[in-house]
């Protein structure tokens, strides 16, 4: 089973899923960060050792804009990975999202692989996770239960139409999702974040989400893990394999999505193909509050706690260096740093400028 | 013999022709679709299973904008392929064009390979096919006979000046063709579609055709089957081979042609290098009513009925997914979806914008 | 010896020079024609067999805009190649330039390799050839003698500063050349054409030449035979080899040069990297009166008369096809055909537009 | 040890450092010169043999704009290289910068490797070298001592935040540097040049430096020696290696930096990835007074005096040829020559134009 969110995983499968992502070429498309270059400041008026990476997000204070994007949970053998990720979230005081909680909502025996996250990260900013389609089906109560399950600070509602669509047995109806999100935003006591999972959010969609009352948006753009690529790799039929191949470049590159979404009125997480602390810096300079990573953190997390901690230290350090080299003492300053935008990304930026949907 | 439309084919030749197209690298140039990216809608307000792919074309209701572009007929051993294609047209309720009927008009014994199409597709939208040069030579009567032969819903008049021109024995005179098309449009009771066969239709040519009264235009643009490439492959002289090589990149990429032609006032079929259902979706978003495919369907059709049906199912499904992922419940909505236009295609788009020939 | 124009060649050397050009990779840079695409006319209102390739140039009627660019002469063993080229000029009624006549002007014994050109092409449009530096040194009398030597219709004054400059023993002073050209234009009874030899003519230089009274300009632009490459290949010192390598991309691509020069007020020959009859068509569409080729014709000319004739037939035919496919019954019509300009060439075009030197 | 400026080098290390730069792939990024093409002047109204390469810089007359960028000194076994470089500076009457003098300021026994420079170049324009961070720490007195040590005509203050930042033990605080530079400019009797070392100077930084009173700016841009690449090569930890890899493309390409800095009000040296005399010509045409080279001169200097002299002769010669081919009798004329700007560099140029920070 390769859907992000399907109940009834057997043990081996949930784990296998993680393994495919770690071992096979599941990344595709381009994120647009290749076309972004921050303006170097040769004379940064600050002390790198005092740079404040601290990020404010939805009222919470995080020590870094690095966000551990939603990945796993739902079966006992994914608990281990979730535990390691949670320990990192706690240790580094960074935000973390769990994978879709649907399985555990349907089958409470599977909750352990989620509850362990709060156990290991008692003080961290944690986000629950539920598909928009499930939300529309089951109503706000499921959302509340997902939040309660891990005592989450916020809930991520994921949009995943590509993967669902290319699977014959996927959820093919997202009608009513926007309405369900609007309802949830009205009723919920916790902030609601809406995220894509690899195809990005357009300016138009962001506007609708903001109007619906979401607290934040996660771009989940093209350029990193591609669910179409995963499907193609796992396909048991030729038809599914070709469908996956044909769609693995579908979507809005993360940097483009970010530029479209940045001014929509709510904080934005840039996720999708971020490769280094430099990409997080670029994200903040283009308007993001946080920069999320999934695959890049999954690989070391599957190895060991140490490997993951080292990776995060490197990413944080690179971010600090990039902040220093742009003369940014904190994220607010980084968000004002100039950037060179070239290539296709510059051309794609034009679409929104010509439409000027925010004005 | 490699012309699209030459009488006197021997059995082996007509068939051989199809085989070359299936086995050799006959595609060349670029279609421009590589430079087009539809704006992903992460929150499609529709149910994919209820998406209506239905296309209205010249007053006929088709179940999908996929159009089987003109390919073959004219000898008994092509009847088999035509039969399979026709069965698909009937089964999927999609439009289909037959190959040039010239041979059968000249030699009624060859009609079988065309009439089988109507036999197998009694309810389908079928287009007859005649070269503009033959039309100019023989007058509207031949056009009427072509339509009658297969009881066609419409007639495609093909323009094929590149292939004719590079062949020493080709038709080298298309003078009077426009006049002949105008006359036909005035007198005929069936709609007349004018199509290119791989070099595209410019905005200027489209305007002339519309003024002449055509009912629809088929871009037949660069980026797919290249008749110059076919000629180069089959050439028995060095000179012809080099001519083919030098001209195999000649023409207007399909996406560019489509953007030039889209506003001309009549419905447009985008053909030339479409590779998937996604390309059909892009075509519709750029203004096409239908998206035609020749080579991509010929290959499975040469294998088996099953292979062709599977291919069409895949294409239809990809189109549906692309519609879903752009939040388009039907083609009218798809036609309003935004697109990112990058690379050379964006640069080429400027020509028409600077000329603004429609305003 | 590798200069275009040096007296004292020994027999083997002049010939060797031609051989290097035929056998080694002497082409470099890009001509810009890759970035030009003519607008296909699917419905050409003309008969290809009646297309008139006829070019008017400086009052002479030529049968094709193909021009045999200046190449050789100056030693008995180059006479053969010149003879073959001349026979082609005569046979096809196209223009031809001889190589630099300096050697023969200094040493009349060498005249045979030039006079044979007129012998074999009694009715052709022939251009004498002299370096601007020699003109400045020796005065208009040498120019007159060069013209008389082959009873030329016009005289090409070549500009060759790159090759001269990178050779330690080259002519390093082109001061006074413009003045000398002005004087010649005033006094001469024959038209004076100024040509580059691989680095192109800028809009600014063209303006100065027009003001000086030249009758025509030959772009001799980047993208074909590179004298810096030739020098690098023949260099006996490392220093000269590196100099050649570093400069072999120097200059203005032919298509860019042509666009800069096209409006300067005198007819223009586009030379430098033209590869086919299509490139000649592109040249005319961009404003050239003729399209010159050196290397592309040298190779077959070194083989045989037949090979050269075939090559020219192919080029002429390709031009005719390109004219047909743009609906151009003659060169005047071709010169009004639209083109797509993409890539770096489109960017380079901006320089002149921003400067608007002609307005 | 790989920092540019760290005291306590052991003999082998300083030398080893030079060797790595000569033997390993330490260059990275792109300089932007690839995207710049000078407008060829086919009719240069000058005598190449009389071209005046003479550059005026800060009141000194140099025979060429080629500048030997700061490289070495600080240990006895680097004295040899410095001696050879100095002899070239003297012989060719070009400017030269020594490497960071910090070590010798801390430990006067190491002065010999610097003082030899003045001994061998008694008449040359020499620049002392000190890090901005050291200046801020030790005050203007150290700057004065550095100048006195080699009786320098000017002092280069280098900015090196990238290399310092990625080294755990580097100087991580450049706060106060601008203030220290301002103080030095006020008090010093010698001109103060501020230079980067591979990441470039932005227009904004240049403006601050000019306001602070610097006499000149050296871009030290991206595209040549990359200290991040050097660090990655020498890294003893994985973390440092990946940091180096991730940052080796960081910075502003030299040509872009030059265009941003050119109008800031003080003379500019273009350094970073210059590969030939043509790049020096491009630099001057884009607004630089001098063009600096480090790596390109280090390699021959490590071989022999002869190798270095030959290299400089070639560079000077190429510059002369480029001046000739743009019709520039001197650098003032070269600075007015037009250029084609293409590719990413053209896109990056927009940033400043949109910001128009000088107006
Ligand atoms: C193994 C794996 C599992 C994922 N599962 C979920 C999920 O359950 N819910 C969700 O919202 N996103 C899920 N995602 C998507 C990520 O949160 C993220 O949006 C996407 O992978 C892009 O980031 P990346 O390029 O850094 O991997 C998953 C990603 C991976 C790699
Ligand atoms: C084997 C073959 C035969 C064709 N014969 C005809 C024809 O007889 N008449 C015609 O109008 N077009 C003909 N075409 C052109 C197609 O209708 C279509 O315009 C062109 O191939 C571009 O589409 P493609 O890239 O999908 O192949 C033929 C194409 C193929 C591949
Ligand atoms: C072998 C050879 C010799 C040439 N000799 C001359 C010459 O003597 N005088 C001249 O004006 N140009 C000379 N040229 C330059 C050509 O006229 C032409 O401008 C240049 O080669 C660019 O055209 P191409 O790319 O088609 O070769 C010569 C070119 C070649 C290949
Ligand atoms: C071996 C080496 C040592 C260097 N040491 C210094 C130094 O001590 N101080 C300094 O300001 N720059 C130093 N630089 C930087 C150069 O001055 C120059 O800015 C940079 O290398 C870019 O030029 P390039 O691409 O021509 O090498 C050094 C460069 C090299 C290659």
- The residues lining ligand 2, judged by C-beta closer than 6 Å to any ligand atom, are B 4-5, 18, 21, 69-72, 99-100, 129, 156, 158, 195, 197-198, 220, 224-225, 271-274, 293-296, 298
From the options 3.40.50.1980, 2.102.10.10, 3.20.20.70, 3.30.930.10, give the CATH code of C7-358.
3.20.20.70
DSSP C262: T
Q: Which residue's entry shows tokens 């060429």?
A: D64
Mutate to test the interface with D, among A38, A43, A317, A319 (most CBs of D within 10 A): A43
pLDDT at D65: 98
User: Contact D243/A318, CB-based, under 8 Å?
Assistant: yes
Q: Does D237 touch chain C (CB under 8 A)?
A: no
- Confidence tier at B244 by pLDDT (50, 70, 90): very high
Inter-CA distances, C325 with C46, C329, C330, Å: 10, 10, 12
- pTM, two decimals, is 0.95
Mean pLDDT of D33-55: 96
**Which of B101-110, C188-197, D345-354 is least confident?**
D345-354
Mean pLDDT of B9-30: 80
pLDDT at B1: 33
Exposed / middle / buried, residue C114 (Cβ in 10 Å: 0-12, 13-18, 19+): buried
- At D293-319, the pLDDT tens digits run 999 999 999 999 999 999 999 999 999
Kindly tell me whether chain C and chain B come into contact, counting contact as 3+ Cβ pairs under 8 Å.
yes
User: Contact C340/B355, CB-based, under 8 Å?
Assistant: no
User: Residues of A comprising the binding site for substrate?
Assistant: 13-14, 100-102, 163
Element (H, E) at A356: none
User: Contact A325/D208, CB-based, under 8 Å?
Assistant: no
Q: What are the helix (H) ranges across chain C?
A: 11-23, 76-92, 102-106, 112-120, 132-138, 140-150, 161-166, 177-187, 203-212, 227-234, 238-247, 254-261, 277-285, 295-303, 305-325, 331-334, 343-355
Element (H, E) at B30: none
> Tokens for B151?
């009881």
Q: Is the pLDDT of residue D198 over 60?
A: yes
C-beta A155 within 6 A of ligand 1: no
Q: Is the pLDDT of residue D9 over 80?
A: no
Distance, in angstroms, between A244 CA and closest chain B CA?
A: 10
- Confidence tier at D234 by pLDDT (50, 70, 90): confident
DSSP B7: S
Q: Does A175 touch chain B (CB under 8 A)?
A: yes
User: Contact A174/B276, CB-based, under 8 Å?
Assistant: no
Q: Does D344 touch chain C (CB under 8 A)?
A: no
- At D255-291, the pLDDT tens digits run 999 999 999 999 999 999 999 999 999 999 999 999 9
What value does the CA radius of gyration of chain A take, rounded to a whole number of Å?
A: 19
Kindly tell me whether chain C and chain D come into contact, counting contact as 3+ Cβ pairs under 8 Å.
yes
> Tokens for C314?
């192919």
CB A81 within 8 A of CB A303: no
Low-confidence stretches of chain C (pLDDT beneath 70): 1-13, 353-359
3-state secondary structure of C110: helix
Q: Is the pLDDT of residue B2 over 60?
A: no
ipTM of predicted complex:
0.94
3-state secondary structure of D237: coil
Distance, in angstroms, between D13 CA and closest chain A CA?
A: 26
Measured from the alpha carbon of residue A296, the closest ligand is 1
pLDDT at D219: 98
Protein residue closest via CA to atom 17 of ligand 1:
A70
What value does the CA radius of gyration of chain B take, rounded to a whole number of Å?
A: 19
- Confidence tier at A235 by pLDDT (50, 70, 90): confident
Closest Cβ opposite residue B321 in set A220, A247, A252: A247
Chains that touch A (3 or more CB pairs under 8 A): B, D
User: Contact C321/B200, CB-based, under 8 Å?
Assistant: no
Mean pLDDT of B77-100: 97
Cβ contacts of C197 within 8 Å, gap of 6 or more: C4, C158, C159, C160, C163, C220, C227
**What whole-number distance in Å separates Cα of residue A272 and Cα of residue A30?**
10
DSSP D2: -
Distance, in angstroms, between A287 CA and closest chain B CA?
A: 20
Q: Does C349 touch chain B (CB under 8 A)?
A: no
Element (H, E) at B173: none
Closest Cβ opposite residue A42 in set D159, D347, D351: D159
Mean pLDDT of B30-44: 97
**What whole-number distance in Å separates Cα of residue C227 and Cα of residue C225?**
6
Pocket test for ligand 3, best of C20, C295, C301 (most atoms within 8 A of CB): C295
Q: Is the pLDDT of residue A136 over 70?
A: yes
Scanning every residue of chain D, which has its alpha carbon at the shortest distance from the alpha carbon of C352? Answer: D340
Of ligand 4's listed atoms, the one at least distance from the Cα of D100 is 8
Protein residue closest via CA to atom 3 of ligand 2:
B71
**What whole-number distance in Å separates Cα of residue B90 and Cα of residue B97?**
12
- Total Cβ atoms within 10 A of residue C238: 10
- At D76-117, the pLDDT tens digits run 889 999 999 999 999 999 999 999 999 999 999 999 999 999
C-beta C296 within 6 A of ligand 3: yes
Mean pLDDT of A295-308: 97
* DSSP secondary structure letters along B218-287: E---BTSB-HHHHHHHH-SSHHHHHHHHHHTT-S-BHHHHHHHHTTSSS-EEEESS--SHHHHHHHHHTT
Q: Is the pLDDT of residue A3 over 90?
A: no
pLDDT at A169: 86
% of chain B surpassing 70 pLDDT? 94
């Amino acid at each position: 089973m390769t859907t992000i969110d399907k109940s009834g995983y057997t043990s081996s499968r949930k784990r296998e899923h993680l393994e495919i992502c770690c071992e096979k070429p599941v990344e595709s498309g381009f994120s647009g960060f290749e076309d972004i270059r921050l303006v170097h400041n040769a004379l940064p008026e600050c002390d790198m050792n005092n740079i404040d990476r601290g990020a404010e997000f939805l009222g919470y204070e995080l020590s870094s804009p690095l966000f551990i994007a939603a990945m796993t949970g739902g079966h006992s053998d994914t608990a281990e990975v979730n535990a390691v990720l949670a320990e990192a979230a706690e240790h580094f005081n960074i935000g973390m999202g769990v994978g879709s909680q649907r399985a555990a909502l349907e089958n409470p025996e599977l909750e352990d692989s989620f509850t362990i996250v709060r156990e290991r990260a008692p003080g961290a900013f944690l986000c629950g996770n539920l598909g928009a389609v499930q939300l529309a089906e089951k109503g706000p109560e499921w959302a509340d239960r997902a939040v309660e399950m891990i005592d989450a600070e916020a809930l991520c509602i994921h949009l995943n139409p590509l993967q669902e669509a290319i699977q014959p047995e996927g959820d093919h109806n997202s009608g009513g999702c926007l309405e369900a999100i609007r309802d949830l935003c009205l009723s919920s006591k916790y902030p609601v974040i809406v995220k894509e999972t690899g195809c990005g959010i357009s300016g138009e969609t962001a506007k609708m989400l903001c109007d619906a009352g979401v607290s934040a948006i996660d771009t989940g753009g093209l350029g990193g893990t591609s669910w179409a690529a995963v499907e193609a790799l796992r396909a048991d039929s030729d038809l599914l394999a070709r469908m996956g191949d044909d769609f693995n470049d579908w979507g809005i590159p993360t940097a483009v999505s970010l530029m479209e979404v940045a001014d929509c009125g709510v904080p934005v997480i840039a996720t999708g193909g971020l490769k280094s602390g430099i990409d997080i810096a670029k994200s903040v300079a283009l308007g993001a509050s946080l920069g999320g990573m999934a695959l890049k953190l999954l690989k070391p997390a599957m190895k060991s706690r140490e490997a993951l901690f080292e990776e995060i230290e490197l990413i944080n350090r690179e971010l600090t260096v990039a902040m220093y080299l742009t003369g940014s003492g904190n994220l607010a300053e980084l968000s004002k740093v100039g950037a060179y935008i070239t290539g296709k990304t510059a051309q794609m930026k034009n679409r929104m400028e010509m439409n000027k949907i925010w004005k």
